[in-house]
Amino acid sequence: MNLFRAEEQARLFHDWDQDMEWTLQPLQWWATTFATPMFRNRGRSDFITWMSGEKGASAMHELRSRLSH
Amino acid sequence: MEFSLAELDEAYETLMSEVVRTGVVPHYAELSALIEISPNEALGRIQKIVELTPGWMHPGTDYIASFPPFNNQPTQYRISVDGEQKWFAQCGFEALACRWLFPGKTVRIEAPCLLGGEPLTIEMKDEEILLVDPDTIVGTRAALLVVMQPIGLLGEAA
């Protein structure tokens, strides 16, 4: 889960995996992904309860959908 | 050792608030003192939280290595808040989530590019992305297992 200065650098990285090319996304896309509820709610005083409940499941579903290819 | 969700909430909130305050996720002996439980129980709660979230212990030890979005073990992703650098992000993506723990503050991410070491700089404040330098920054990953890890484990919490 790394950031690179530009697409060409990412493709030259030793761990580059052509099968995961769809994960090569602009910073804004990853910033939006990591702005979904699973990440925003970590500051809650009941985070584990929240994560284990319906809202957490919904948040994880949203994240999985976004990260599905 | 079984724990209630409320007990795990208490430990998680304490670990998170301490790393936000100090830049370091407390050791279980410190957590023990902070929430007035035995060291053994503190370690047990930490181990359960690590199972439920995409963090990890350093192999073969009782040390928390990663507590997302932060890392106790330094990474190349240095996080500064309002000009003070004392945090490390778990990875480039989790670096983008650190801002949610510092509402209303400017969070700066600085890292070397893994190809050549040239700098990457990002500044965020709540919903805003204030700076992306260079503006061509991209992210990529060979696998997405870490973020997906908690899914199958949620049902195990007592």
- The answer to whether position A40 is within a domain reads yes
Q: Which domains does chain B have, with CATH numbers?
A: 5-66 (1.10.10.10), 78-133 (no CATH)
The pLDDT of residue B21: 98
- The answer to whether position A10 is within a domain reads no
Backbone angles phi, psi at A44, to 5 degrees: -65, 150
Confidence of residue A1 (pLDDT cuts 50, 70, 90): confident
- The answer to whether position A16 is within a domain reads no
The pLDDT of residue B7: 98
Q: List, as one string, the DSSP characters of B30-81.
A: HHHHHHT--HHHHHHHHHHHHHHTT-EEPTTSS-EEEETTEESS--S-EEEE
Q: Which of A3, A33, A69 to mutate to test the interface with B (most CBs of B within 10 A)?
A: A3
Q: How far is CA B78 from the centre of its chain?
A: 12
Report, in angstroms and rounded to the nearest whole number, the Rg of chain B calculated over CA atoms: 17
**Mean pLDDT in residue range A10-36:** 93
Give which of B10, B8, B16 is closest to B69, Cα–Cα: B16
**Mean pLDDT in residue range A20-45:** 96
**Mean pLDDT in residue range B123-149:** 84
Separation between Cα atoms, residue B25 and residue A39, nearest integer Å = 18
B91-115 pLDDT, tens digit per residue, is 999 999 999 999 999 999 999 998 8
The pLDDT of residue B157: 34
B1-28 in b/e form (b: 16+ CB < 10 A) is eebebebbbbbbbbbbebbbeebbbbbb
The pLDDT of residue B143: 61
- The answer to whether position A13 is within a domain reads no
Q: Which residues constitute the domain of residue A58?
A: 25-69
pLDDT greater than 70 at residue A68: yes
CB < 8 Å to A2, chain B: 91-92, 114, 139-141
Determine the residue type at B60: G
Confidence of residue B144 (pLDDT cuts 50, 70, 90): low
CB < 8 Å to A26, chain B: 137-139
The pLDDT of residue B156: 36
Q: Which of B138, B147, B151, B156 to mutate to test the interface with A (most CBs of A within 10 A)?
A: B138
Quote the number of domains for chain A.
Answer: 1
- The answer to whether position A3 is within a domain reads no
Whole-number percent of chain B with pLDDT over 90: 85
DSSP B87: E
- The answer to whether position A8 is within a domain reads no
**Mean pLDDT in residue range B37-57:** 97
